[in-house]
Amino acid sequence: ADVQFSSLFFGKKHFLGHSSKIAKFYDSAVYGICALVFALTAFCACRIVFKERKLADGARRLLFFCLILVIGSVGLVQALKFTMERPRPYAISQFAGAEQFVPVLKFNQNGQKTVPNENRSFPSGHTACAFALTALAVLAHRQKVRLAIFFFFFVYAGVTGLMRILEGNHYLSDVLGSVVIVGITMMLLDWFWPLAAERINGFFVSAKP
């Protein structure tokens, strides 16, 4: 199914987005936006903690987003990418490449790198970063605003994933896998973070003279 779906975006010699300057700019913008948002939220969280001398509600929400971005879209995604033996679509023989197609979730079991790091496909880091931005919804107090933020970045993540497929950089399963990974990270942190935040606040209380 992955190869068939990717073939919809393959021309005679290259993928449709192979040489698109718009696609290249979009790719760079995704990481740039995520880095900027992370820097701003981390700065604001640290400022609140420094001022309040505790992990107040605002700082909890900001740090929740930071953790989603760091753990989900950077930590887990990159760890999986470099333990998988899955070449990108543009590198496989079905699309004029030299590698063989590899199904999703095939781990590197012998420790030898048979696929160069830059050609590893699963999961999609760009899609993961874009989808992680949906966690910004926790910063809003009104339900309608939360839903608006979530759906805006959900669509943004969908466009990002489609763009990566259009360029031949990822399969559909790479994109969906990134969403699942970040989604599970959100759910686990939603359960774990309140408990951790209380312990951190306990530390602040015990540290006061």
Task: Report the alpha-carbon distance of residue 8 to residue 6 in Å, rounded.
Answer: 5
The closest of 159, 187, 192, 152 to 175, measured between CA atoms, is 159
Tens digit of pLDDT for each residue in 91-149?
888 888 888 888 887 766 655 567 777 778 899 999 999 999 999 999 988 999 999 99
Task: Report the alpha-carbon distance of residue 77 to residue 30 in Å, rounded.
Answer: 15
Give this prediction's pTM.
0.87
Tens digit of pLDDT for each residue in 45-79?
889 888 877 777 888 889 899 999 999 888 898 88
Please give the structure tokens belonging to residue 25: 């700019």
Mean pLDDT rounded to a whole number for the chain = 86
| pLDDT reading at 192 higher than 90 | no
